[in-house]
A and B are shown apart, each in its own frame.
Chain A
Amino acid sequence: MNFDHIDVVQSLIDGVLFGSVYALLGLGFTLIFGAMHKLNMAYAASSIAGAYVGLATITIFAVPTVLAFVVGPLAAGVVGLLIYISCFQFMPRNNLLAPLMASIGALFFIDEVIIDQTAGSPITFPVLLPDAYFPVGEYGFRGDLLFIAFASFILMGVIVFMLYRTKMGLATRAASQQPVASLLCGIPTHRTNSTVFILAGVLGGFAGCLAAAAVGVLSPLLTLPLTVKGLIVTVIGGLGSIRGAIVAGFMIGALENLFLLFRGVNERDIYVFLVLFLFLVVRPNGLFGTSIDRD
């Protein structure tokens, strides 16, 4: 087998553009981790659940496809809030395993409800911008992937703005750094935490819809790969680091597509996971992580 540079560059372009989905998911995982220092394993499942609700809305009410990208994220936000209430709100603050385990339970709960409702079979998701394709010289940009990347950038900008330029963001960061002290200062930590879960949920719902639109089908089989890839992006970027999650998301998207080109679809994920182990050995704190935030 030999590949010319055009194949390689083209698959890099597609990979980076699709990587924005991973960047969004990683950003969501990181937001939740940053706020509570706990992992929400059901996060990608809530994203897929949101995408399903969006898809159901446009199929049942026969409304334009664009509305799926409004209803889906909102539904995912609601699911995110429910996950916060059921798995995180009432747990002891210093017990890390119990909420983790509970959110794994929630992951399977959401997954099984989806399988039960759809009889486990994948459903076609309407293709976004089917005719848009922008050739640039020897390379080309898929219109839907460009839209995905563009939308992700806007969302990331909004999130960073909210975290660093608004009062709510200030409260969130305070609650993240010193939960007890911020409670004493009158910051309602439960409310800031649930806001973070809703925000992350909306982000994830959008990512879920984008992923489904790019792949073309929506299936419960998407949940676990997205969970694992999102977690890998979070770890490689450095737990709790926002720019790390974004950079790592694009990086994993690009690497994944390169492995797909060189090794085929069956072996692709092996190499993606090996990249994670490489990072654990060489840089256990991730790209931008600090050594204090290691657990």
Chain B
Amino acid sequence: MEYYLGISQTIGVHTLLGLSAYVLLLTGQLSLAQVGFFAIGSYVSGILTVIFGWHVLPALFVGALVAGVFAFLVGFPALRVKGLMLVVATIAFSEIVRLVFFNLNWRVEVNGLEVGPDSTQGFREIRYFAANGWEQAHVVLLIWLIVILVMVMLWWLDKVRAGAVLRAVGEDELAAQSSGINLTMVKVAAMTGGGVIAGIAGGLYAHSTTYVDHHTFSILLATFAVSYPILGGLKNVLGTLMAVIFIQGFIIEGLRFMGDYRNILFGLLIIVAMNFRPQGLVDGNFTSDVRKLLRMKQNGAGADA
């Protein structure tokens, strides 16, 4: 049971990470900065609960907010350039964040114990849940409540004008601009939203694993974050969830017997998937094909009768 709770924690956190990349991908921008916001969220909320003794919920909130502010600040210079240059800029941002935390040393004595980020040794004592009598099931519940909340919000976003604006920018920037949409505003807003979601994910990750260090926030994690929505397709949020369950549940956990070959498989999987379905596994054609197939079956049944 512990094992499955552990997996569902991982899947929950990674879904949030994937959704944070999903928001920005709707506007057609591929960002590898998500892992930087994730790192900011985890360190800020960790510092708040460990050093300042905050409750975990406001700490998560503040962590998400700080990550959002950084996303907003980074958004302006980074989104002046688009597409491929944005990828380079966001990689650089994530690496800056990682290196800053790599160098961050802030040891404080709390209740006779020295705690806090210890530069290269990482940030070890984020034991809020254990210290306050939370069981693992409660943590899983909290993570999934937030996941569902975010998914519902993004689902709702797609039904209103804001979602249409995001997709319009993603489909054709020129057309969107000529119908009076402020491109920079939309992209920076999407970046900020993605940053907030990644910040929450980071806080949840730090508190559920009790330990983070700079290795956690590698470009590999950033690649995972963008690969979920790209593999799952941008048609709706469920695609991202499906991709996370497939990659984390099946490839990472289900194929555990394959050991390190799983990482090789992950790279191959991306290459193969992109060659055969460049728009993602669940793209517009896929859903309309399914609808057509259903209709044909109905019509076929009607003709027989």
Contacts and interface: CB of A to CB of B under 8 A. Distances in A.
A295 B274 contact: no
B227 A101 contact: yes
Contacts of A295: 81-85
A224 to B, nearest CB: 6
Nearest to A236: B88
A267 interface: yes
Interface in A90-132: 90-92, 95-102, 104-113, 115-116
Interface stretch (A14-22, A190-198, A273-281): A273-281
A232 interface: yes
Interface of chain B: mostly helix, strand, loop or mixed? helix
A112 B267 contact: yes
A109 B278 contact: no
Given A91-B274, A116-B264, A276-B92, A96 B83 contact: yes
Interface stretch (B95-103, B146-154, B235-243): B95-103
A232 to B, nearest CB: 7
B78 to A, nearest CB: 7
Contacts, number: 138
B230 A97 contact: yes
Contact of A105 (B25, B80, B218, B269): B269
Interface string B95-123: 11001101100000000000000000000
Given A90-B275, A228-B95, A96 B84 contact: yes
B172 to A, nearest CB: 11
Interface string A243-285: 0000000000000000000000011011001101100110010
A277 B76 CA distance: 11
A105 B278 contact: no
Contacts of A92: 278
B219 interface: yes
Contacts of A113: 264
Interface in A12-61: 33, 38-39, 41
A105 B82 CA distance: 21
Q: Is the interface of A mostly helix, strand, loop or mixed?
A: helix
Interface string B248-262: 000000000000110
Nearest to B226: A101
A270 B99 contact: yes
A269 B280 CA distance: 34
Contacts of B260: 112, 115-116
Interface in A211-235: 224, 228, 231-232, 234-235
A91 B96 CA distance: 32
Given A109-B264, A112-B264, A280-B80, A228 B92 contact: yes
A98 B85 contact: no
Contacts of A174: none
Nearest to A235: B88
Interface in B200-258: 218-220, 223, 226-227, 230
Interface residues of B, number: 44
Interface in B130-162: none
A235 B81 CA distance: 10
Contacts of B220: 108
Nearest to A263: B103
Contacts of B296: none
A118 B271 CA distance: 23
B90 to A, nearest CB: 11
B230 A101 contact: yes
A273 B226 CA distance: 21
B99 A269 contact: yes
A239 B84 contact: yes
A284 B227 contact: no
B52 interface: no
Interface of A: 33, 38-39, 41, 86-87, 90-92, 95-102, 104-113, 115-116, 224, 228, 231-232, 234-235, 239, 266-267, 269-270, 273-274, 276-277, 280-281, 284, 294-295
28 contacts: A41-B87, A86-B271, A95-B278, A98-B278, A99-B274, A101-B226, A102-B270, A104-B270, A105-B267, A105-B269, A105-B271, A105-B274, A108-B270, A109-B267, A112-B263, A112-B266, A115-B260, A224-B218, A231-B88, A231-B91, A234-B88, A266-B102, A267-B99, A267-B103, A270-B100, A273-B99, A276-B92, A277-B92
10 closest Cβ pairs, A-B complex: A105-B270, A109-B267, A98-B278, A102-B274, A295-B83, A108-B267, A273-B92, A112-B263, A231-B88, A112-B264
